[in-house]
Structure 1
């Protein structure tokens, strides 16, 4: 007999260990079955499981378990990312506790320390994925810095360079002065801070007493000004375009140019242009042919000699310019104060306007970033983007939901050169060597570089390897094919590329999805996956983004310990509606834990009643109406769940099975069939036991991809030791199993009982009161249905009698429309009619007040504009809840006549 209560803590680890031991997650490259491939987005080796991980891996695991059971050769390729900057910081902090700096160790010794840390702690998130029940092919686990993937990275870098698609250039990057490296856009965090908008006057050259006023939030960058932009339509400055102003502190002439970037409505309408220290200014400067002047060193301190660059690319001319006296070596923010003071002393500070504005910070270094002109390696992303754009436009790869393709298009159509070099030690070392005269040799090995240098110079020369490493996204862009053995032509590569679906969040469409598309098409000649399913964010119950600072982070492991993994997984599935963020409350997980309990108790009930599936049972052979009804309802739910999973409508799949299992099977069918199982008709009892056992087994089978542990445990108990449920063929239900007549008849019974129960609840009828139910305007089928099911209806609706009536309804009756008939419930003597009318009226007034208060708030433009979108959405939801309750109260009052 099943234990009284389900104990996930005793089941989950035991079952998972058995599945891994028996190799049940393995793909089979030698199989003749059609492959199905999902590439696991590799979590950072530094990471630990958060709710976003729990969502994406639950969805992927459900897909892989489902398709594995439909007969596909399913590969869920696992692995982790070396996460360059994140991992280096973890190890640096660890060493700092012992007073050790990585520079003291040197590069090789430091990297050894990182590998040691990776061996000890780097598998944390993988172990947590095991805890979640993830059925990836773990023996195939890859790491972006393992030997095979490293070889793929080097080959791609060298090939792109030889094709002219990868080059070295001096451009602006997001520079982290604390970490001393360029960082990717993904690692930039915009923070709202209080600051100032300073208005400075620049003298117009040759026009004594005339000034042009510019407004800036960063006065320190004025030292690098080479232009001032005004809008072409701004008549205030029309006569100044093409003339020069004088930057007062440096004395430098700066050209006044017309550019749409200048907003006539913002500030003074004139914008100082510092092409070497602002991304927008860089583009304006490029359009206007302005000089670039780099004023900062890597620590964001003022250089003693500025770097002056005129022109672009390899033909650019470089020279120096001395910093103004007293500025060399100043920190950028100290320089800001000095600039303001100097301009004020010259009488050129017009005004200071306090503002709140957005400042880019490094998400790891935690300091404001500095756009800095540096020598870096770049990929010609614009060229690579064209086939990636065409692939989605032509339908070779599709986004689900479809609207995310617009985000993809927008980014790729406006893509900039991709900076792929990082000034770190942990990562893929760039395969480039520098020889005399600045000559660069890009080769797969040092020996090949030396041979190339020898051929170029006619003799052996000293070469120095580039000290930078590659952006983490460079190696992860190769993930769909490097993990399968590329550049070797392996059986796995031939079989499992391209993948079927990528499941990921919208935040890395730019940084990972697009780059996999570009590299996959370029190096494999085909897209890396056919579908890209973009899931939403998991927020807290109020719609707020989870963050440690807000204290609203929900730990998936803690929830799993408290309620079981299946409850958490099913919650995430049930709430994963396409295009809608998940508002997760612990109460939802608790609710689905109750669903687990419901399944467990239903299984105990079936065991007590000897409800098992006989060998050779044919669901199409059942005779009793109630059994035909539940078989047909099961078939409909099973087909709905299958199609929903295949269409990535995960919430619909979960909803179909939850509704069937809890309501149709547990709440209705098991109650409907108790009289049969307790009766004397042995044939009816046998058929009902068989049907009950069959339906329970199918429920467990259908729920298994979403709730693998409890379904496996119950099935094992019911069927004994044997093949795991996760290896069983997926249930397929013939549409012919649906019986329209049985469905109509039993549906009518359900509706009658539900309606009467609802009225009893709404009208505060005492639980023990036995009402009389009358059916007015009944159709010709009703007498037969009453004859067959009257006893059942009376018992489940707590009625003294139920019969067809003619004439008018008695006074003090509640009346409910059911199809073409009306159910009449005489309430006189059971409740105080007048008091009930008064109670309902008060409740209606309360709901109406709630609606008015919310409408008043939503009509306030200040609230709608300033409140976070999720707060406004919550108000709309609360209003809808009030309105729904009000409608129910109105219906209840109307029933009293």
Structure 2
């Protein structure tokens, strides 16, 4: 006997444990159906389940459960990412609490401590995914730092190096002065900062003229190597090719013509500091300018590369002042430099200015564009086949418009900085000889052999201290998780995968890298479809953030309303590329749907409507039964088409509408007199149970727990068997068109009467005479 209400807290862990113990999530190569593969976007090993996870993993789980029920050999590959910066930061904080740090421990001891932390605390996210009901093939779980994936990383790095696609170069990178490392664009967030725009006078050499430049960063002027003006700007045409005397340092720097300078902005002249600005770096390359760094890795003033060029110029430059800035932080140096320029009457004006400033998303530090020697990958070469694959439709974006975002970035892609100045991560497989000669190899023995061949004898080699960008290893995820570089049976069966489910914000950083590396090393795209979902926002459409206090915890929502209510809410609100406006009220409202389903099951149980083995819809005789069986066929077609097209919102809407409106509100109400009629009761019970079984199967991808519980308890199958039950197919219904016409007419008639009663304010308890003309 079913309880009065469904208890998610009791049922969910029991059912999930039952599925997992039975191996219900496992891919099965022996299954005759074609494989269907989804690779989990590996969450950070440091992470906890947030609403973004809840969205993407609910969508993936709904798709994988659907295909599994269709008989496909469904593989949902689990795993986590080692999250270089995030994990190192977590462990360094733990060490700080213990009164030590990683440098005191040394590299090997620090890495041992990270692995210890991973063993103790790194499984949080995978436990939480189980709470959501995610049916991942857990025995296949991978980690981006496990032995097999590390082999894949080394193989890819060495191969690309040997092909000339990985190289060392001195270029500008995003530098985090707190972590003392280069970081990716994804780890940079722009924040609005109120500051000033300083207009500075640069004296033109040999004249009494001043050229005014505007800057938001006066402290970088020590590294200026040119002033740029637009080639068509008549105001400065006579100055191009001449020099200015750089204030404070006394160095001569040229005035160059470059289209980067916008005549409509500021004074139309801009200072060029190639070592501390990405746009200036490009100008510096075009004009072959010197590129001295004046900020070190801690973002403090360093004069090492300009000290020899300091010159005393009365009223303009004092080397003693500049030398006094050595070691000053950016803000301190800025205040001192502005004060000195004002003293020298070289400040034209100062305006308030609000602008976007890049910050490290984890450190919170202002990011410094810094000129350093790093390892780079020639992404432009790898990008061409990826662009062609999408142009040819071998990989399709859903919605299609996101292809434009993909193309825009890949067609203008810059060299990819793949090195990071961290200890946690895949250490770069490069060793250096005493003369700086580099030996890239798959292991140290191979590097020593190469060095011996180069030097004619053994030499002491030192391995590169840097590690690889986290996106490098995650870019191999679709094939490294299947055993590559070994050509495994899994690789042959499950690659390429069917669909990647992810947000638009990592098209650049992950989708593109998987496309580039997958095509290059596997000769085929890593996935046939890329389903792009939106972001989760609050009910008002605002982005969730801790500062706004509008962050929702999915685990809290599961505790309050159950996983099924949260999952169904997400499906109902998720359209391709559309943001999800989510709040507790929405989840609570769809918990009512769970309750409606449970109450319908109790009604069937109380009326002894249990599944009849071998029930054939074609044998139904009454218009009522034929109508609901025909409507079930329509619901099967509608939900199947929606899931085939990645329309989770349409799938949920169709399931909701059929279950609540047609089955519960109309069929069960109309069935009550039939259930009381001995001549009609048996057929009505059998049809009701048959259709309810269809409903449980149709809703299972979105609401796995309550549907499984009812499937088991009402006798449709063995415990925990719904997950492996075939997806429903339409069955022929005799006289369906006539039944549809008769019952649809009846529904419209009752609806019309209800509308009139409402408009005339007739109380529900009051009976009213109805005259029906021309009824059959």
Structure 1 counterpart of 2:653: 655
Is the Cα–Cα contact under 8 Å of residues 46 and 86 in structure 2 kept in the other structure? yes
Structure 2 counterpart of 1:225: 224
Structure 2 counterpart of 1:373: 371
**Residues 167-178 of structure 1: matches in 2 within 5 Å?**
167-178=167-178
Describe the shift of the 1:738–1:265 C-alpha distance in structure 2 as closer, same or farther (beyond 3 A).
farther
**Residues 612-761 of structure 1: matches in 2 within 5 Å?**
612-679=610-677, 682-719=678-715, 721=718, 724-734=721-731, 739-761=736-758
Is the Cα–Cα contact under 8 Å of residues 303 and 323 in structure 2 kept in the other structure? no
User: In structure 2, how many angstroms separate the alpha carbons of the residues matched to 1:3 and 1:557?
Assistant: 25
Is the Cα–Cα contact under 8 Å of residues 632 and 738 in structure 1 kept in the other structure? no
Is the Cα–Cα contact under 8 Å of residues 635 and 738 in structure 1 kept in the other structure? no
Structure 1 counterpart of 2:600: 602
The answer on 1:107 being equivalent to 2:104 is no
Is the Cα–Cα contact under 8 Å of residues 394 and 525 in structure 2 kept in the other structure? yes
User: In structure 2, how many angstroms separate the alpha carbons of the residues matched to 1:192 and 1:762?
Assistant: 54
User: In structure 2, how many angstroms separate the alpha carbons of the residues matched to 1:322 and 1:161?
Assistant: 47
Is the Cα–Cα contact under 8 Å of residues 205 and 246 in structure 1 kept in the other structure? yes
Is the Cα–Cα contact under 8 Å of residues 246 and 252 in structure 2 kept in the other structure? yes
Is the Cα–Cα contact under 8 Å of residues 304 and 322 in structure 1 kept in the other structure? no
Question: Counterpart of 1:260 in 2: which secondary structure?
Answer: coil
Describe the shift of the 1:204–1:498 C-alpha distance in structure 2 as closer, same or farther (beyond 3 A).
same
The answer on 1:269 being equivalent to 2:265 is no
Structure 1 counterpart of 2:488: 490
The TM-score with structure 1 as length reference comes to: 0.84
Question: Counterpart of 2:302 in 1: which secondary structure?
Answer: strand
Structure 2 counterpart of 1:799: none
User: In structure 1, how many angstroms separate the alpha carbons of the residues matched to 2:389 and 2:87?
Assistant: 34
Question: Counterpart of 1:58 in 2: which secondary structure?
Answer: helix
User: In structure 2, how many angstroms separate the alpha carbons of the residues matched to 1:738 and 1:429?
Assistant: 71
User: In structure 2, how many angstroms separate the alpha carbons of the residues matched to 1:715 and 1:30?
Assistant: 27
Question: Counterpart of 1:66 in 2: which secondary structure?
Answer: helix
User: In structure 1, how many angstroms separate the alpha carbons of the residues matched to 2:307 and 2:635?
Assistant: 70
Structure 1 counterpart of 2:299: 300
Is the Cα–Cα contact under 8 Å of residues 620 and 734 in structure 2 kept in the other structure? no
User: In structure 1, how many angstroms separate the alpha carbons of the residues matched to 2:338 and 2:402?
Assistant: 45
Structure 2 counterpart of 1:42: 42
Structure 2 counterpart of 1:331: 329
Is the Cα–Cα contact under 8 Å of residues 223 and 306 in structure 2 kept in the other structure? no
Structure 2 counterpart of 1:86: 86
Question: Counterpart of 1:62 in 2: which secondary structure?
Answer: helix
Structure 2 counterpart of 1:213: 212
The TM-score with structure 2 as length reference comes to: 0.97
Is the Cα–Cα contact under 8 Å of residues 37 and 76 in structure 1 kept in the other structure? yes
Is the Cα–Cα contact under 8 Å of residues 195 and 352 in structure 2 kept in the other structure? yes
User: In structure 2, how many angstroms separate the alpha carbons of the residues matched to 1:634 and 1:737?
Assistant: 14
Per-residue CA deviations over 1:109-150 (Å, capped at 9, x if unaligned) read 011110000000000000000111111100000000000000
User: In structure 2, how many angstroms separate the alpha carbons of the residues matched to 1:18 and 1:281?
Assistant: 61
Is the Cα–Cα contact under 8 Å of residues 45 and 82 in structure 1 kept in the other structure? yes
Is the Cα–Cα contact under 8 Å of residues 521 and 528 in structure 1 kept in the other structure? yes
Structure 2 counterpart of 1:6: 6
Is the Cα–Cα contact under 8 Å of residues 305 and 322 in structure 1 kept in the other structure? no
Question: Counterpart of 1:424 in 2: which secondary structure?
Answer: coil
The answer on 1:520 being equivalent to 2:512 is no
Question: Counterpart of 1:95 in 2: which secondary structure?
Answer: helix
Question: Counterpart of 1:94 in 2: which secondary structure?
Answer: helix
Offset of residue 624 of structure 1: 1.1
Question: Counterpart of 2:611 in 1: which secondary structure?
Answer: coil
Per-residue CA deviations over 1:415-436 (Å, capped at 9, x if unaligned) read 0000010000000000001112
Structure 1 counterpart of 2:278: 279
Offset of residue 738 of structure 1: 8.4
Is the Cα–Cα contact under 8 Å of residues 619 and 734 in structure 2 kept in the other structure? no
Offset of residue 189 of structure 1: 0.9
User: In structure 2, how many angstroms separate the alpha carbons of the residues matched to 1:468 and 1:458?
Assistant: 28
Per-residue CA deviations over 1:437-479 (Å, capped at 9, x if unaligned) read 2110000111111110110111111111100001000000000
Is the Cα–Cα contact under 8 Å of residues 294 and 308 in structure 1 kept in the other structure? no
Higher relative contact order (CA 8 A, sep 6+): 2
Structure 2 counterpart of 1:97: 97
Per-residue CA deviations over 1:821-867 (Å, capped at 9, x if unaligned) read xxxxxxxxxxxxxxxxxxxxxxxxxxxxxxxxxxxxxxxxxxxxxxx
Is the Cα–Cα contact under 8 Å of residues 644 and 653 in structure 1 kept in the other structure? yes
**Residues 278-427 of structure 1: matches in 2 within 5 Å?**
278-306=277-305, 324-427=322-425
Is the Cα–Cα contact under 8 Å of residues 292 and 309 in structure 1 kept in the other structure? no
Offset of residue 604 of structure 1: 0.6
Question: Counterpart of 1:765 in 2: which secondary structure?
Answer: coil
Per-residue CA deviations over 1:648-701 (Å, capped at 9, x if unaligned) read 00000000010000000000011111111123xx33221111111111111011
User: In structure 2, how many angstroms separate the alpha carbons of the residues matched to 1:353 and 1:688?
Assistant: 80
Structure 2 counterpart of 1:121: 121
Unaligned stretches of 5+ in structure 1? Answer: 311-320, 785-897
User: In structure 2, how many angstroms separate the alpha carbons of the residues matched to 1:414 and 1:603?
Assistant: 58
Describe the shift of the 1:122–1:722 C-alpha distance in structure 2 as closer, same or farther (beyond 3 A).
closer
Describe the shift of the 1:369–1:546 C-alpha distance in structure 2 as closer, same or farther (beyond 3 A).
same
The answer on 1:532 being equivalent to 2:530 is yes
More displaced 10-residue stretch of structure 1: 46-55 or 735-744: 735-744
Structure 1 counterpart of 2:199: 199
User: In structure 1, how many angstroms separate the alpha carbons of the residues matched to 2:648 and 2:708?
Assistant: 21
Structure with max Cα Rg: 1
User: In structure 1, how many angstroms separate the alpha carbons of the residues matched to 2:719 and 2:34?
Assistant: 26
Question: Counterpart of 1:306 in 2: which secondary structure?
Answer: coil
More displaced 10-residue stretch of structure 1: 576-585 or 509-518: 576-585
Pairwise CA RMSD of aligned residues?
A: 1.7
Offset of residue 587 of structure 1: 1.0
User: In structure 1, how many angstroms separate the alpha carbons of the residues matched to 2:653 and 2:565?
Assistant: 14
Structure 1 counterpart of 2:188: 188
